[in-house]
Structure 1
Amino acid sequence: MKLLRYGPKGKEKPGLLDANGKIRDLSKHVDDVAGKVLSPASLKKLAKLDPAKLPAVRGNPRIGPCVGSIGKFLCIGLNYADHAAESGLAVPPEPVLFMKAISAVCGPNDNVEIPRKSKKTDWEVELGVVIGTEAKYVSEKEAMNYVAGFCVINDVSEREFQIERAGQWDKGKGCDTFGPIGPWLVTKDEVKDFNNLNMWLEVNGKRYQNGSTKTMVYKVPFLVSYLSQFMSLQPGDVISTGTPPGVGMGQKPNPIYLKAGQTMRLGIAGLGEQQQKTVAAK
């Protein structure tokens, strides 16, 4: 299934994308694509619905973040060997963990704000993992039992704030609109090989990132297990698993950063596409 949320910001309704690419309303069956709705039993129940019998959504509504009421937005840094190399950094001996503020979450096609005083706002296409069942001290072998599905994430980053302003990475990662999520939450049964998904990102039509999850250092089951050793993972928590090479900071001979008025377009095979316009923060 491809689950989604549509409508004005803060008033999104739950939906399902049918085989013809049409949005179907799930409001009579679930309140939101969030929390317990992401459990295996709930997803199994939704999968039995006939999309053709669900109300079709008219027009072209805004698509919101594909998960509602996110509790934790967990991110893994330097998790692609080729991206670590372009950054001039060694692959870490354990996953690097940081968090984005929940206020960074936005829809996949919403505007991305360039923060005030920003000099180095950058892009990162990433595979998102959505937790469906509480996970605490789970093994790598069992880890996928706790995953509801996958999505596209743009881990927008302000590199000066992140690297040059002292302290942790969070300052450069959690700015408003720095976490576009979606368009769909694709349930794991539809993602046959999450270790080999092509992923890409363009700015103003020029492709900068063109990679694959196959170069991920720490794979999804390991990450879910690893994170669950430090904190319980709750239904609706989102894990952003790292980016392949081609970020602005890594461009040669000189880095390239985002400015207001540009368009980012990105996607992952089978998980859909995002498109954001950059605007100056007010």
Structure 2
Amino acid sequence: MDINGASAIVTGAASGIGAAAARQLAAKGAKVVVADLQADKGEELAKEIGGTFVRVDVTDTAQIEAAVNQAVELGPLRAAVNSAGIGWAQRTVGRDGEFSSAHDLEAYKRVIAINLIGTFDVVRLAATAMGRNEPLASGERGAIVNMASVAAFDGQIGQAAYSSSKGGVVGMTLPIARDLAAIGVRVNTIAPGLIDTPIYGEGEASEAFKAKLGESVLFPHRLGQPDELASMVVELVTNSYMNAEVIRVDGGIRMPPK
């Protein structure tokens, strides 16, 4: 699918995987809506790639609609990438056996609200806009790429909330792809492994920590780079025969219990 001259929306686009995806989609000629909460970084990236920044909290349907409408104004919306998300680590029960020390339920709900429900909200609204496009010669109207995690399959101790949210993204890939086949919209999901993003911080201690983490990767023995994930995003958007798939991009890692 050719996205030159079309529009794309990328959530969580101000940094990390989202920013890399936005840059690579723009390099293919897409007019990218940089959808994020970080206005300073988002506006800077939008200026760099000739896109548009829209402040988006993916738990706010009205803000998602505004971003989708902005994308449609730039050109036919052909691509949507869901990269917004948060993490949370806490064991299901506390060491003291008290109800009060069990996993924070509000934190669990928030992770689900952002990572899973927010992703679905973007999917349903972006797909609605895509359904209004004139089909390409291939019959396609658009493509959606969601971001899960290897934690959906190899969740570690303390990752109940995060793994639940990402497992939900994996689980909805096929049924949504089946739903959207009727309008010529493809849906795929990427499950990243350990990726070098700002979540690990900066400085000598951070680099040492990342190097240690990288030793657990099968090959190559390092963290993945955002551009390596973004290239898969572009492939899933542009390859017209990729549909309903969940693809691990993880260097072959299988996460241990902790």
Larger relative contact order, structure 1 or 2 (CA cutoff 8 Å, min sep 6): 1
TM-score (norm 1): 0.28
Q: Higher strand proportion, which one?
A: 1
Q: Higher helix proportion, which one?
A: 2
